[in-house]
Chains A and B, each alone.
Chain A
Amino acid sequence: MSMTMTQKILAAHAGLVEVKAGQLIEAKLDMVLGNDITSPVAINEFEKSGASMVFDKSRISLVMDHFTPNKDIKAAEQVKRVRAFAGKYDIDNYYDVGDMGIEHALLPEKGLVGPGDCIIGADSHTCTYGALGAFSTGVGSTDMAAGMATGKTWFKVPAAIRVEIVGKKPKFVSGKDVILHLIGEIGVDGALYRSLEFTGDGLKNLSIDDRLCISNMAIEAGAKNGIFPVDEITLEYVKDRFQRESVIYSADEDAEWESTVTIDLSTLRPTVAFPHLPENTKTVDECGVVKIDQVVIGSCTNGRLSDLQAAAEIMKGKKVALAVRCIVIPATQKIYLEAMREGLLEIFIESGAAVSTPTCGPCLGGHMGILAAGERAVATTNRNFVGRMGHVDSEVYLASPEVAAASAITGYITDPAKV
């Protein structure tokens, strides 16, 4: 019986020799994640269920990232509730202001997730860790509560779409353009209930940060997960970092693929998703003149060091356009510190950008950069739904850090090659 990579990981965690698409299984979990929005709901459910202990205090991660540093009294109360829970059950991986980061940047960085893992998180972008060769998917708070109590959850084994990557990226094309292009091709429900499995010769030209960005947005195509094979690039990243043993699974040659999509990296252009869906993509050459009011560089999609480096390279010695507010948010404390040491923060501040402590903040219209009616933002985030960054009549254009930085300088959506 041949299986996809996802199916093999699920079979192993369910204690089965093989699984088939559509089969319902119960799988063991290596990590259960929650944030400051979803954990309070999960904690309520956990307590209502009468559970008196967590399955493993080292395999639960609670990351206070969405509305922190607490944006208001209600947010403060929510974090207080989670902090008390973490204290009561002696949770090892509780991260709050000062040592936190955006969850999906933080967990890989800390080595809390890695190859072969089976992970759920009460956050839709939990699919990010597929970049490291893990099965990882977003669930709701009730699933999180049950996961914390039992260390298990139910899954329906997904069918898979193979995404074959070939070729080499041109300059100013990054993982963000790969995933925006893919979503533009297959649509926001193009992979609904299915796995996206990335394969092909071109993978060697995608860095871990590119892959994290690509897996991060698998959910934006409706996918259950988006997974990369484990190769030298993965092993180099997890070495001296991953706290458990890596287990390497790979798809069988003759695994059943529902369909195959091929992406030739060499043909890609910087890509922008227009409001109000990530599938409304255009290449930067097709954008026309779109004037903007704000630029946000950050989030679990593109707030990593390489993203800040790419933006800084474009902004160095230049000024943010007068009409634009540019906000740069390193995704974790470690990235913040490294960006400071490398002089990137200085470049941003001298160009007229605001730099913030790590937070999800504007990505979900929480705080730190809310849009007014009629305003437009170019953001390196992952969603551009109605009202996502503020007023229902505001607009978000999704793009890479390169495009965002170039647009901050000119005041309209701009090809990074042109600044």
Chain B
Amino acid sequence: MKAQGTVHKYGNNVDTDVIIPARYLNTSSHSELAAHCMEDIDSDFIKNVKAGDIMVAAKNFGCGSSREHAPIAIKASGISCVIASSFARIFYRNAINIGLAILECEEAANDIKTGDEVSVDFDTGVIKNLTTSKTYNAEPFPDFIQNIIQKGGLLNSISERL
């Protein structure tokens, strides 16, 4: 699995209330959620994002409310991968469970800037900044997570047991 795209960069403690504000949680339609993704901290995000783009943030990305609507909104907006110094744990679970690729890499998260072109290889954890030609190594997914993602999410991975 690989991804490549232009970077949208954010800071520390991006919480799920700003990823998708509660006022829009009266729907579970993916496209409606995506239309409001990040709007409270970056009202241009939705106008600028292109399919395949990459989101980069500092520490504790996705903290706060457990709403799965947050990774869903990010994924539905076209983002192919989120790279951060660290993720809040419920967001981390949710992203895996719905099949949004995420990688923890502090160095990459510090260096990479908005507008950079970045490629990611999920099998090896290698992140390349094509704009600056720098390479970073993130921890690749452990096996059990690879398995969930390969099967297309948690529910598919358990459905053989149902």
Contacts and interface: CB of A to CB of B under 8 A. Distances in A.
A363 to B, nearest CB: 9
Contacts of B90: 124, 138-140, 219
B158 A365 contact: no
A222 B142 CA distance: 22
Interface string A151-183: 000100000000000000000000000000000
A96 to B, nearest CB: 17
Interface in A38-96: 38, 40-41, 44-46, 48-52, 66-67, 71-72, 74-75, 78
B80 to A, nearest CB: 19
Interface residues of A, number: 52
B66 A49 contact: no
B144 A140 contact: no
B68 A192 contact: no
Interface residues of B, number: 42
A123 B25 CA distance: 13
Contact of B156 (A24, A49, A67, A222): A49
Interface string A192-209: 110000000000000000
Contacts of A143: 93-94, 97, 154
B94 A388 contact: no
Given A140-B94, A140-B97, A143-B154, A189 B21 contact: no
Nearest to A74: B26
B18 A385 contact: yes
Nearest to B24: A74
Interface in B119-140: none
A111 interface: no
Interface string B46-69: 000000000000011001111111
Contact of A145 (B23, B86, B155): B155
Contacts of A71: 26
Nearest to B155: A49
B60 A142 contact: no
A40 B17 CA distance: 19
Interface string B73-111: 000000000000010111001100110000000000000
Interface string B1-26: 00000000000010101100111011
A72 B22 CA distance: 14
A247 B9 CA distance: 47
Contacts of A122: 66, 68
Interface in A110-163: 122-124, 126, 138-143, 145-146, 149-150, 154
A37 B25 contact: yes
Nearest to B94: A140
Contact of A142 (B13, B21, B41, B94): B94
Contacts of B89: 192-193, 222, 224
Contacts of A150: 158, 161-162
B26 A149 contact: no
B26 A78 contact: yes
A138 B68 CA distance: 11
A188 B144 CA distance: 28
A268 interface: no
Interface string A369-391: 00000000000000101111000
Interface of B: 13, 15, 17-18, 21-23, 25-28, 40-41, 59-60, 63-69, 71-72, 86, 88-90, 93-94, 97-98, 142, 144, 153-156, 158-159, 161-162
